[in-house]
Structure 1
């Protein structure tokens, strides 16, 4: 009986591995993933450019990813561009699921690897919501609901109503700040290099790609740290209004001494992150290649 169960389990595993291999080597998986990185880059480029305009006093606004989608929807070709971005975001979600399920990057099944793969699933969930909002804006059926600070404060308030709610908010804040810290460390140590086929670029081009990518990841990491800190403050003061989204984090930089300079540097960093996404879309190593 035990041998039969073992044999069935082995057959199921082999079928799963075969299905995984077929999916991982499907060219459409890679194409959608590359489009996904590019779409994510477009969103961050919009956020960075709008914030840079605020910093130099030429209009603009501080916004988050949902606000960036609403900005893209404007103009004669806005909805067409947004439709492409929406499809790209679906591709990004698909790739995150593939990363979590099939582990093409070899993160493994130890504690660290499982945490990273769980993070991929969380990312897939976040970008699923963003893709849905993009399609709603394209179709004119919504997508303009609460986001940014409003969204952060709303779910923080709901979470605080639960048992041990303040502690949960603090944990979420520490996790987000930790994610930001990891991004800063990854940028500083240039760990992203091994994901890229930099050998396909000329040496000077590769060096510039690394520098810009490093700046972009550092800037995004800083924003995550700030958002995490605001959540911890909200938990410690039992005040959900202290929570901040991406737009609020940018506004907090602008309100500091030399705020225009800080905001300009961070905004330039977010544009650099968009460039990094474009580099990853073109030169990323996929599926263990």
Structure 2
């Protein structure tokens, strides 16, 4: 390692977020990894046998609540998700990655904020389940959203716009997976060769799989707008069910399930090695 790389590494450490923020944020990413890993495992069991379930994030919390020590696991997930929420709100408001205030930067920062709101709801659901004060949320929340939107003036257009935005997010994840754009989020200089390869493979397959499911959810919203029928709206579990009902559906479901498990592993690795710095550009670091 040369002097310039040591200097860059030192600058990076100096510019990182406060230690407790970093650790809490990293724990949050790992928590999300566990949730998506569980979704993938349940979907894989459904593809290969009768014991699985095609569900989304709220559904998987309900499944966790039914296993031994599930209450403890829910408390860990509920608290852990707050770490992720804290970090994405920092990304949205403080912009430590310098994505900027142009149209592309604002869209990315808005996506961070929306992600934080979504996972705040999931965290709240996990804590309600763990404390026996409620359930993890409505499994038909997407349908409820479409109903409320359809009741508004220009409701059909609103549902269609939401669908287009969701598809855009899914396509972005697909693109990021195919082009391996996600690797820029890792502190690769701290990773050995095997760790970088695992991060690359899990991210590539995981993001392609999750991007596919998200794009399907967006398509269902657009179909809802086209038919003016809220029954067409489906969430994560509904998208997996629709996939399983296609020709060769069990095979397709199995492939996506494996991808979601890998996505969960990718999030865990991201929790360990993600850049959490303030102020310095990524170009300051040599790629390895």
- TM more than 0.5: yes
* Distance change (3 Å), C-alpha of 1:205 and 1:91: closer
* Distance change (3 Å), C-alpha of 1:23 and 1:65: farther
**Aligned mates of 1:170, 1:214 — CA distance in 2:** 29
1:252 pairs, out of 216, 238, 242, with 242
Aligned to 1:133: 125
The 8 Å contact of residues 23 and 29 in structure 1, kept in 2 or not, is answered as no
Aligned to 1:51: 43
The 8 Å contact of residues 24 and 98 in structure 1, kept in 2 or not, is answered as no
The 8 Å contact of residues 61 and 136 in structure 2, kept in 1 or not, is answered as no
Aligned to 1:227: 217
1:202 pairs, out of 192, 198, 205, with 192
* Distance change (3 Å), C-alpha of 1:192 and 1:123: same
Aligned to 1:6: none
**Aligned mates of 1:238, 1:84 — CA distance in 2:** 40
Report the structure number with the largest CA radius of gyration. 1
**Aligned mates of 1:220, 1:255 — CA distance in 2:** 18
Spell out the pairing of 1:86-105 with structure 2 (5 A cutoff).
Answer: 86-105=78-97
1:181 pairs, out of 166, 171, 177, with 171
The 8 Å contact of residues 221 and 233 in structure 2, kept in 1 or not, is answered as yes
2:73 pairs, out of 60, 73, 81, with 81
**Aligned mates of 2:271, 2:264 — CA distance in 1:** 10
TM-score (norm 1): 0.89
Aligned to 1:265: 255
TM-score (norm 2): 0.89
Asked which structure has the greater RCO (Cα within 8 Å, sep 6+), the reply is 2
Q: Does 1:115 align with 2:92?
A: no
Query: How far 1:206 moved relative to its partner?
Result: 1.5
The 8 Å contact of residues 213 and 273 in structure 1, kept in 2 or not, is answered as yes
SS class of match (1:157):
helix
SS class of match (1:256):
coil
CA deviation profile, 1:190-244 (whole Å, cap 9, x unmatched): 1111111233333233223201211001101001100000110010010110011
Query: How far 1:189 moved relative to its partner?
Result: 1.1
CA deviation profile, 1:76-118 (whole Å, cap 9, x unmatched): 3111111111111111110111001111111011111111101
Aligned length: 266
Superposition CA RMSD, Å: 1.6
**Aligned mates of 2:89, 2:15 — CA distance in 1:** 11
Query: How far 1:24 moved relative to its partner?
Result: 6.5
Structure 2 gap ranges (5+): 1-13, 281-288
Aligned to 2:226: 236
Question: After TM superposition, where is structure 1 displaced by more than 6 Å over at least 4 residues in a row?
Answer: none
CA deviation profile, 1:39-73 (whole Å, cap 9, x unmatched): 10111011100000000014111011011111122
Q: Does 1:30 align with 2:22?
A: yes
Aligned to 2:152: 162
Query: How far 1:23 moved relative to its partner?
Result: 11
